[in-house]
């Protein structure tokens, strides 16, 4: 007996369908951007869709072929959104590069991705001029500005003007339909040891993620919303908001590089923002400015905070003093990024306010499309009792299956069943499915939502002539959540100081990645196999007071 097949249309899930939908059904809804050039720019979904088609024509005119990578070094702005759609929608792959990385890392990533076009904001011109010689595959450099803001001179051999190129096209371009499993976006994560690795999202995974993210128990997005993603478009696609906003037809507000407390507050108010999303650190600036000036939000209703653990005090301040619902979320680059969000269900209605608050402080429950488990070292799943803690593993529609250019599978087996992605986080899960991150098994430090590789710090420290052994660990920090602390064993007879070692990092790594402090010890704890016991070290220095804290 053969199964009866469904008799439904086969419409591949295309990124371009999101913006087409917004143009057709919410065409006059605004997309507002605070530009790098300093002014506010206003457009609509209809206009943005037309300009995205023109960008698809621009990329074709530049000779791009299906699968080619279009890199961006850009803030949140309408031109960046046009590049997202113009490239992915025409079978190219948008590769968003994090401009906060060390220049050498940026060049490494661009070469690994074999980017053929690099589009960048005005603020990154000096960086691109410095890097151009290192970028082995980039054929075209596009400055995302108009003719009036093009530089009088540049060291780049040929610099193209974004607005000139858009103006030269007629937009007579029909979005093509193709296999929904085609790649649309490439995003590197430095969240593990070794070189950064690329997550390659598909049209299908991205559209499904956009659906999942918009659901009421997730970001709860609607056409009535005005959404301001503080999270950058180079951090896992601003958590999918450039896709979920057109899916529901919401107004989108893009802050560009203007992320200080005052600019953010003014944008929230002047554009009547209802929903925002970002890492905890950005809220500190906003709240400090608002408290100093005794200000209140008049339209902001809720915000998703994730990327790092949201401090309970911040959650309480936003909720109790400013009337903003905080939705604590957990995710990863490898998950496009949404995994869990903390929202109460009707099953928690009977709980006390304090018990409800404790649940909201957890990382939360999975969105449909993601499944999770916690496992022990033998790959056996652990009970969901809110106590047992184990390695968090996930699988689902928007979880990677392998990394860009790599053939080996990162997957692990759970209770004998293969195909689970190990997150490198350690967690508990309670009987209602609320997950709480309790530790991290991967050896990295996350400061203000950005990764710092412990291995990179240790390698630099070990090159110092007076250092015998070094370990970099994370220390709690009130502003940045975590900051690196370097624990050093000196060579016998060698003399050095903390300042001397910290000075050694200058020019070898991005300034913000340099450890905040150095402590000297006689020896570091090792396992029987000689591996550094980072957990033990973190425990030993958990009360260490950083000079910057």
In the complex, which residues of this chain contact ligand AMP (CB under 6 A)? 189, 191, 236, 306-309, 328-333, 337, 363, 423-425, 437, 440, 446, 451
Which residue, 14 or 259, is less far from ligand AMP as judged by CB? Answer: 259
Neighbours of 418 (CB within 10 A): 11
The reply to whether 451 belongs to the active site is yes
Identify the sign of the CA torsion 251, 256, 260, 262: negative
Q: Apex CA 467: angle with CA 466 and CA 469, to 5°?
A: 160
Of 29, 189, 206, 303, which residue is the catalytic one? 189
Query: Please, what is the minimum distance in Å from the beta carbon of residue 164 to ligand AMP?
Result: 35
- Distance from C-alpha of 117 to C-alpha of 147, rounded to nearest angstrom: 19
Query: Please, what is the minimum distance in Å from the beta carbon of residue 183 to ligand AMP?
Result: 18
Of 446, 450, 458, 490, which residue is the catalytic one? 446
Integer Rg of the chain from CA: 24
Query: Please, what is the minimum distance in Å from the beta carbon of residue 488 to ligand AMP?
Result: 26
- Distance from C-alpha of 353 to C-alpha of 148, rounded to nearest angstrom: 56
Query: Please, what is the minimum distance in Å from the beta carbon of residue 315 to ligand AMP?
Result: 11
Which residue, 80 or 440, is less far from ligand AMP as judged by CB? Answer: 440
Which residue, 86 or 364, is less far from ligand AMP as judged by CB? Answer: 364
The reply to whether 446 belongs to the active site is yes
Which residue, 184 or 236, is less far from ligand AMP as judged by CB? Answer: 236
Which residue, 122 or 279, is less far from ligand AMP as judged by CB? Answer: 279
The reply to whether 175 belongs to the active site is no
Beta strands in 386-456 (DSSP E): 390-396, 412-414, 417-429, 435-440, 444-447, 450-453
Q: Which residues pair with 132 in a beta bridge?
A: none
Find the helix or strand (DSSP H, E) in which 474 lies.
Answer: strand 467-477
- Distance from C-alpha of 329 to C-alpha of 277, rounded to nearest angstrom: 10
Asked whether the beta carbons of 243 and 209 are under 8 A apart, the reply is yes
Query: Please, what is the minimum distance in Å from the beta carbon of residue 355 to ligand AMP?
Result: 20
Neighbours of 521 (CB within 10 A): 15
Query: Please, what is the minimum distance in Å from the beta carbon of residue 108 to ligand AMP?
Result: 17
Which residue, 255 or 424, is less far from ligand AMP as judged by CB? Answer: 424
- Distance from C-alpha of 71 to C-alpha of 87, rounded to nearest angstrom: 10
In Å, what is the CA distance from 160 to each residue of 146, 165, 335, 407? 10, 8, 34, 36
Asked whether the beta carbons of 329 and 342 are under 8 A apart, the reply is yes
**Closest CB to ligand AMP belongs to which residue?**
333
Of 340, 451, 458, 490, which residue is the catalytic one? 451
The reply to whether 334 belongs to the active site is yes
- Distance from C-alpha of 233 to C-alpha of 338, rounded to nearest angstrom: 14
Asked whether the beta carbons of 496 and 525 are under 8 A apart, the reply is no
Residues marked active site are found at 189, 334, 446, 451
């Amino acid at each position: 007996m053969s199964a009866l097949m469904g008799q439904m249309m086969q419409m591949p899930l295309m990124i371009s369908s999101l913006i087409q939908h917004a143009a057709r059904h919410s065409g006059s809804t605004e997309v507002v951007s605070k530009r790098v050039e300093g002014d506010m720019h206003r457009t609509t979904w209809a206009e943005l869709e037309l300009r995205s088609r023109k960008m698809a024509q621009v990329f074709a005119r530049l000779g791009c072929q299906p699968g080619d990578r279009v890199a961006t070094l850009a803030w949140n702005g309408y031109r960046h959104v046009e590049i997202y759609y113009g490239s992915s929608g025409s079978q190219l792959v948008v590769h968003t590069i994090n401009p906060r990385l060390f220049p050498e890392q940026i060049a490494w990533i661009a070469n690994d991705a074999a980017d053929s076009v690099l589009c960048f904001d005005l603020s990154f011109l000096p960086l691109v001029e410095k890097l151009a010689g290192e970028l082995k595959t980039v054929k075209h450099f596009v400055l995302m500005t108009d003719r009036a803001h093009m530089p009088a001179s540049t060291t780049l051999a040929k610099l193209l003007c974004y607005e000139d190129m858009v103006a030269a096209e007629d937009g007579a371009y029909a979005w093509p339909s193709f296999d929904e499993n085609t790649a649309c976006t490439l995003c590197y994560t430095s969240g593990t040891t070794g070189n950064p690795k690329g997550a390659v999202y598909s049209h299908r995974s991205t559209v499904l993620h956009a659906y999942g993210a918009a659901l009421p128990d997730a970001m709860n997005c609607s056409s009535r919303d005005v959404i301001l993603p503080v999270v950058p478009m180079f951090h896992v696609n601003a958590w999918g908001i450039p896709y979920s906003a057109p899916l529901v037809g919401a107004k989108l507000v893009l802050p560009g590089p203007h992320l200080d407390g005052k600019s953010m507050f003014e944008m929230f108010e002047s554009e009547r923002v209802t929903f925002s999303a970002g890492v905890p650190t950005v809220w500190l600036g906003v709240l400090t400015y608002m408290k100093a000036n005794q200000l209140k939000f008049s339209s902001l209703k809720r915000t998703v905070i994730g990327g790092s653990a949201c401090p309970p005090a911040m959650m309480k301040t936003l909720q109790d003093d400013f009337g903003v619902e905080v939705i604590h979320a957990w995710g990863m680059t490898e998950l496009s990024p949404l995994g869990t969000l903390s929202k109460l269900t009707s099953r928690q209605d009977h709980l006390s306010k304090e018990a409800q608050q404790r649940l909201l402080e957890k990382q939360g429950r999975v969105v449909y499309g993601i499944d999770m488990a916690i496992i022990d070292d033998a790959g056996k799943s652990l009970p969901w009792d809110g106590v047992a803690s184990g390695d968090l593993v996930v699988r689902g529609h928007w979880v990677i299956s392998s990394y860009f250019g790599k053939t080996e599978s990162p997957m692990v087996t759970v209770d004998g069943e293969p195909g689970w992605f190990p997150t490198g986080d350690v967690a508990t899960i309670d009987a209602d499915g609320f997950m709480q991150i309790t530790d991290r098994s991967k050896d990295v430090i996350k400061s203000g939502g950005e990764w710092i590789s412990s291995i990179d710090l240790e390698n630099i420290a070990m090159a110092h002539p007076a250092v015998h052994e070094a370990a970099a660990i994370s220390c709690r920090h009130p502003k940045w959540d975590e900051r690196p602390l370097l624990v050093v064993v000196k060579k016998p007879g060698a003399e050095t100081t903390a300042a001397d070692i910290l000075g050694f990092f200058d020019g070898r790594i991005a300034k913000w990645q340099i450890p905040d402090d150095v402590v000297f010890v006689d020896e570091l704890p090792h396992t029987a196999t000689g591996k550094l016991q980072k957990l033990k070290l973190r425990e030993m220095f958990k009360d260490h007071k950083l000079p910057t804290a």
